[in-house]
Each structure stands twice: as C-alpha cells, then as structure tokens.
Chains A and B, each alone.
Chain A
Amino acid sequence: MRRVAIIGVGMTEFGELWDQSFRDIGIMAGFEALHDANVSSEKIDAMFVGNMSAGRFIEQEHVGALVADYSGIAKNHIPSTRVEAGGASGALAVRQAFLSIASGMHDIVVVGGAEKMTDVGDAEITNIQSATSDQEWETVFGATYPSLYALMASRHMHEYGTTREMLSSIAVKNHKQGCLNPKAQFKREIKLEDVARSPPVALPIRTLDCAPISDGAAAVVMCPLDIAKKFTERPVEILASAQASDTLALNQRRSITEMAASKVAARRAFDMAKLSPSDMDVAEVHDNFTISEIMAIEDIGFFPKGQGGKASLEGKTSLNGDIAVNTSGGLKARGDPLGATGVAQIVELVQQLRGKADKRQVPDARYGVAQNVGGTGATVIIHVLGVEQ
C-alpha cells in the first residue's frame, strides 16, 4: 500500500449562500484546492464527490459528472464518482480517494464535498435530514433527526449525570472558536444561558444545541506521499483512514450513550497510524448536536465514557485545553452542509498541521484526527493526519 498525502485544500464560506448555486460552490472550493496544490487540471486522474442529497435539495442527481463538467475536467474524461453515507459522505469521498491512491490505481485525485440546502423550505429540510435514519421504523412514528439524538442525550444524562450546562458548554466553545474562522457560518459568541433558553427542538435538545442549515463546499487534492514534495513544501500525510458501520436504527443498539462504530473506527485508525488518542494535538469531530461532541470525545478515547461533558465544561477541549476540539467552530459554528462537512474537517486539520490556522492555531500541531458521522452513527469515518516535524 502506498502512503498518501494531501497537497492542497480549499473551501467556500459556509452559510446561507443565496446568490450561489450548487455548481458555483462546488467549483469554487475545487479551484481553491487545485490552486493551493499548484496542480493543473490535466494532471488529475480521478475525482470523488461527497454529497448526501442533491436529488432532494436541488432535484439534481449525477453530481459526480456535474462537478467534473463545470470544473472543466470532464473534457479529459476522468472518472468522477459521487459517494453517499448521509452526513459522513464527505469523509467517505476522502476515504475513497485515499484507497484509490494507496492501491496504486490513481496518482492525483481531487475530492469535493458539497451540499446546497437552502434551495428548499424548512419543512422539506426536516424531512431530508431524517432520511439518514430508518424511514420505516423511526420517522413514521414521529421521530425527527434531532429527536433521535435527544434520546441519546436523555440516556447519557441518566447514566452519567451529564448536565444541561455541560451540553451548553459545547455550543459556547464552538461558537467562540468559530469567531476565529473567517469561513464559519456563525462568528458570534453565545453564553451558556443563551443555549439553555433557546427554543426547544426535541428536549433536552434546543435550537442552540443543533448545527445550522448550511450551504457550502470543500475540496482537497491528494497524491502519493513520495511525489507530494513536488507540489508543496509541507505535505500532510493521511496516516490512517478507517470506516465502521452499525445498525441503521437506534432501537437495535445495545447502548445509545456511545457510537460503537465511532469506537471501532477510532481503534482501527489509531492502530493503523501506530498512534494513540493522547498523541493528537487537534481534533475535528461531528458535533451536529452538542451531545454528539460529548460522545465523540469519549468514543475516540480522549476521555473515559461519561466524562466528556465534565471535561468540556472544564475547558479541556478548548483551544488552550488538553486537546483542541473543533478549532474550526465545528458543525455548530462553521456550519454543516452535510456532504461538505467531512471534507471541511480535513481542510481544517491540514491548515492546523501546516501551521496556517492563524488566530485559531494550535501551537506545534503535529497530529490531528477527524470524525465524521452518518445518521445516528450507522456510519462513522475516522482519519488521522500528521506532518513531519
């Protein structure tokens, strides 16, 4: 297996981008990544596009071909593949590119992640979001996507004494860090009491516990590590890529206070990278709801099960804490354009490991981990990235 590196990254601003279409944002992120990698389009061997639901958001399927076309690389007839795993579609695209390069099949591969959510109304967005859970046995009984995470939160609070304040501390931290990210959707701080007083969605989950609805795209360019220095002075190596699955519906799981797929994928990834959670300097985790970040930092292994909320409230996951979690602002503040999210997490890690994260830079960051979740944890993808010192 060949070693794989990231040589270029790009992303649009995340938010409600009314004046930009799906193809506009997809191309913008891709161009930025290619420019950053100093690669011309005829060198590209393949493309993977992470997208969750363009068919329902913009009634456009076949977006692998669409993005290749409008990026001007369809003229070279390269293979362009759209991949989908709910909210984990972005990381899945990164993983497919990783596998294709590691295997020796392709050399230079572009990964794009894009979602245009705001072209449909709120009611339809609610329907589309819940399409990653079990339609036949969850949605039909009145389960919304947030309500399933609310069940996890209620059980986590019951089993481990996780409090309202601990949940709120995640949103407060991620908003604070989002202020330092020029591309974040929200660049405003919030207080603990703002979260606790925000309108109920599915209790204990309130509006400010939820990631927003966003448009956005992100892209990375990857190649074999042994040629990466031709393109960039500071390639970032993908030390591990791991993916795990679990039951689609929550009721089929033994425990709902952990994501078993997250634990397994993390273990596989750290084994592959020959590193441990304590080696990580920075982490981007899937905080689609505040409870998700608490479970993520436990499942990845930063904190023992049940201690994630307390650790967050104590500031151990903030920029200056033991492990900097979601320096980008996370899904909560950077924004969560579903298929783009997993790619944007990688973009953030690359910026941190290059030492180019500006005001949100974690000093001397060498290793980073990204966790991207589909549905309520039926797919979890974990990547470990690193740089030479």
Chain B
Amino acid sequence: MTKTPRYWRENTSRYNMIGAKCANCGKNYFPYRTMCPDCGRKSIGKMEEFRFSGAGKVFASTVVHEAHEQYEMMKPYILALIETDEGAKILGQIIDAEPEEIKIGTRVKSTFRKLGEEGKAGTIYYGYKFVKE
C-alpha cells in the first residue's frame, strides 16, 4: 500500500506529532495544513508548526478483527479516535491494553512504535500509537 518515499515524506510529522496552528484564529490541526479551513486566505503564510503532547482521551474506539494484510499479525487490535488535550483529534491504535479497559473518555498518551513494514526485507515504518496514561 504505502511506498517508501511517500511514507518517508511524512516522517517528521509521524515521529513527532507535528500538526499546524493557525496564527489567525489559534485553532490547531493534525496533520499539518497549509491553510486554515476556517480562516481561508487570512491564514496563508500564518500556519505554524505545532507539536502535540500526545495526551488526550478516547473519543471513539473499535476492535479491528479483519485487518489489512500487513496488519494481520496485530489483530485483533484497538483503533481509536483520540481527542487531544490541545483540541484536534488524532486516529491511532491503542496498545498494551485489553479492549474492556478502553472506554470513551479513557485517558491515553502517545508512544513511539513500529507501525508496519514493506514485506519481509523492506523498510520498517515507525510512528505513534497510544497507551493508557
């Protein structure tokens, strides 16, 4: 699915959870956007890189039983939308937890993990996942 250069391009953002903050209205976004959808052209040139703390709470969650081929080894896994303390929502897996421990509102924090790999001898992808706080 994902090929190396395409993945590598987003590494900074995926490794460090860097999104954007609009200097015009103060709203933050993840991932990075070059324009604030609320402010339009007033935000052009005013979008600043914004690093998310990775802390937040579960907004919605699911347990994935039928996975894409490259995630077969992980299943079943918990996938959740996290509402970050800074505001924006971020999608990611919750690991080192049983499904029954994860409810809407459960506090989580991000952790740096392997996300997947391109076949047996290919590049390994890294990025964030979440664990209970």
Contacts and interface: CB of A to CB of B under 8 A. Distances in A.
Interface of A: 123, 126-127, 130, 135-144, 146-147, 150-155, 158, 199-205, 249-252, 256
B55 to A, nearest CB: 16
Nearest to B10: A136
B90 interface: yes
B2 to A, nearest CB: 6
B71 A152 contact: no
B80 to A, nearest CB: 8
B49 to A, nearest CB: 16
B30 interface: yes
A251 B7 contact: no
B128 to A, nearest CB: 8
Contacts of A135: 1-2
Interface in B76-100: 76-77, 79-81, 88-93, 99
Q: How large is the interface on B (under 10, 10 to 19, 20 to 34, 35 or more residues)?
A: 35 or more
Interface in B14-57: 29-31
From B6, B59, B64, B127, name the one whose CB has the most chain A CB atoms within 10 angstroms: B64
A155 B66 contact: no
Contacts of A154: 60-62, 104
A349 B34 CA distance: 43
Contacts of B80: 151
A144 B66 contact: yes
Pairs of residues from A and B, 10 with the lowest C-beta to C-beta distance, nearest first: A150-B62, A155-B60, A200-B65, A251-B89, A151-B60, A203-B63, A202-B62, A123-B69, A154-B60, A202-B64
What DSSP secondary structure best describes chain A's contact surface?
helix
A129 to B, nearest CB: 10
A209 to B, nearest CB: 12
Contact of B59 (A155, A202, A249): A155
A127 B64 contact: no
B74 A142 contact: yes
B67 interface: yes
A141 B115 contact: yes
A155 B104 contact: yes
A139 B1 contact: yes
Contacts of B64: 142, 144, 147, 150, 202
Given A200-B76, A202-B66, 11 more contacts: A123-B68, A126-B68, A140-B7, A144-B64, A150-B62, A151-B60, A151-B79, A151-B81, A154-B61, A202-B62, A251-B89
B77 A256 contact: no
B91 A250 contact: yes
A150 B60 CA distance: 9
Given A158-B60, A202-B63, A251-B90, A139 B68 contact: yes
A273 B93 CA distance: 44
A300 to B, nearest CB: 23
B31 A136 contact: yes
Contacts of B7: 140
Nearest to A249: B91
B31 to A, nearest CB: 6
Given A251-B81, A251-B90, A137 B31 contact: yes
Contacts of A140: 1-2, 7, 115-116, 125, 127
Contacts of B115: 140-142
Contact of A137 (B63, B79, B91): B91
Nearest to B103: A158
B81 to A, nearest CB: 6
A362 B59 CA distance: 40
Given A127-B68, A140-B2, A256-B81, A200 B91 contact: no
Given A158-B104, A256-B81, A141 B65 contact: no
Contacts of A126: 66, 68-69
Nearest to A247: B37
Nearest to A251: B89
9 contacts: A140-B127, A141-B93, A141-B127, A151-B79, A155-B104, A200-B65, A202-B63, A202-B65, A251-B91
B77 to A, nearest CB: 6
A319 B88 CA distance: 42
Contacts of B69: 123, 126-127
B68 A144 contact: yes
B79 A143 contact: yes
A200 B67 CA distance: 11
B52 to A, nearest CB: 12
Contacts of B61: 151, 154
A199 B76 CA distance: 12
A191 to B, nearest CB: 22
From A141, A203, A249, name the one whose CB has the most chain B CB atoms within 10 angstroms: A141
A154 B81 CA distance: 11
A252 B33 CA distance: 11
